[in-house]
Structures are given as C-alpha cells and as structure tokens.
Amino acid sequence: MQLVGIPSVQIDAVWPLVEPLLAAACRRGRDKNAPEDVRRALKARELQLWVAWRHAVVALAVTEIVRHPRKTCCRIRFCTGRERKSWQPYIATIEQWAEANGCAAMELIARPGWSRFLKRHGYATTHIFCEKEL
C-alpha cells in the first residue's frame, strides 16, 4: 500500500474513486460539508487530498494548512477508509509533508477511537469537540 498526495490538477481524474468515501465522511460530520464543497476547495488548493492505494482506493485523508496568529498547523479535516490498521501509520507521511510546508503542529478532530492510536504517535488529547443541533 502507498499514500499518494493528489495534485489539485488531478482532482477531477480521481474524483469518481474518492467521492463515495468522502460522501460518507461528510454525512458522519453532520453534513457541514458536501463532497462538492470539498472538491471545489481541493481544486482551489485550499485543501489537500491524500489517497491510500492498493490496486484501488482503500482510504483517504483531506488536510488543510491553517495559519493561526502564532503558529501554522496542518489540520486533518477528513480521514476515512477500510483496513484502518494498514494505512494509519501513513500519518507520519502527512506530518513530514506538513513540516516541509512550514507547519509547526498537526490538528485534527476525530472520533474517540482515534485517540488510542494517536497517543502512541505523540499526540495529546487537549480538547474534545462536541456538537448539538439547534
């Protein structure tokens, strides 16, 4: 398996392969994003698409470089797929890319199960993000 960063000019070519996974992730995120919103931001280079590939798309991640007043961070906005244990270690690839692109930290909001894996890779749980519909 390999993790591939998809250039913005190739988003349309890979879209049929990634859209089903991304659509499911958008639904789990309470529909704050639609796949077409993410596609537009990927093509505009506001977000970055990562695909874990083994003869087919196994998983995907979408990242964003966030410039806070005192620190630039790479935020993982979406991360979803099958065979989780085979692609989770590729977070190191994204971390290396982030550092090479001026990021001083990583950020993500994830489901609780991710905290066990992330703790082993040096991440600390500093906040919990909860939601309520009004």
Q: How confident is the model at residue 133 (pLDDT cuts 50, 70, 90)?
A: low
Q: How confident is the model at residue 95 (pLDDT cuts 50, 70, 90)?
A: very high
Structural domains counted in the chain: 1
Q: Domain range holding 25?
A: 2-108
pLDDT of 134 > 60? The answer is no
**pLDDT at residue 40 in the model:** 98
Domain assignment present for residue 121? The answer is: no
What's the CA gap between 63 and 49, in Å, rounded? 7
Domain assignment present for residue 130? The answer is: no
Place of tokens 């506001």: 46
Domain assignment present for residue 131? The answer is: no
Give the predicted TM-score (pTM) of the model.
0.89
Domain assignment present for residue 40? The answer is: yes
Q: What is the pLDDT of residues 32-80, one digit of tens each?
A: 889 999 999 999 999 999 999 999 999 999 999 999 999 999 999 999 9
Domain assignment present for residue 72? The answer is: yes
H helix and E strand count, the chain: 5, 5
Domain assignment present for residue 45? The answer is: yes
Burial of 119 (0-12, 13-18, 19+ CB in 10 A): exposed
Domain assignment present for residue 123? The answer is: no
Place of tokens 């692109």: 101
Question: Domain of 23: which CATH number?
Answer: 3.40.630.30
